[in-house]
């Protein structure tokens, strides 16, 4: 039987977007410390909601299933890692960053192979 914290959404993108729209968001300490240095505003994350695309899924992540999302705000792309608490109906924003061209193809969706 699946534990409550391992519960997966049938439509993770819709779940993430719904939580963001309803402001059912926890901003982790890690993301709060890094956003300013990375010049990504909280408002940009919120305003980019309609551009979210899941690029990678980590259903077995440590605390909750998580998803790496590509977002675009004013034609600038960045990644957001969302941990999804389906039972608690909220998401945690773990980290946000601009994809490095050394690690990611120009589409921001495809990891470069080493």
pLDDT in tens, 42-75: 999 999 999 999 999 999 998 899 999 999 999 9
Structure tokens at 111: 């990891």
How many of the other CB atoms lie within 10 Å of CB of 82?
A: 27
Q: How many domains does the chain have?
A: 1
DSSP for residue 50:
G
Is 23 among the domain residues? Answer: no
Structural domain for 57, as ranges: 28-114
Q: What is the pLDDT of residue 27?
A: 93
Is 1 among the domain residues? Answer: no
Q: Minimal CA–CA distance to 50: which of 68, 71, 25?
A: 71
Using 70 as the pLDDT threshold, list the residues of the chain that sit under it: 1-5
Q: What is the pLDDT of residue 33?
A: 83
């Amino acid at each position: 039987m699946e534990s409550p914290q391992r519960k997966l959404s049938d439509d993770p993108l819709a779940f993430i977007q719904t939580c963001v729209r309803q402001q059912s968001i926890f901003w982790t300490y890690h993301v709060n410390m890094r956003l300013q240095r990375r010049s990504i505003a909280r408002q940009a994350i919120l305003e980019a909601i309609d551009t979210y695309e899941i690029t990678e899924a980590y259903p077995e992540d440590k605390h909750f299933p998580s998803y790496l999302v590509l977002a675009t705000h004013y034609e600038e792309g960045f990644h957001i890692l969302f941990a999804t608490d389906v039972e608690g109906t909220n998401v945690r924003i773990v980290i946000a960053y601009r994809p490095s061209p050394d690690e990611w193809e120009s589409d921001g969706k495809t990891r470069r192979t080493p």
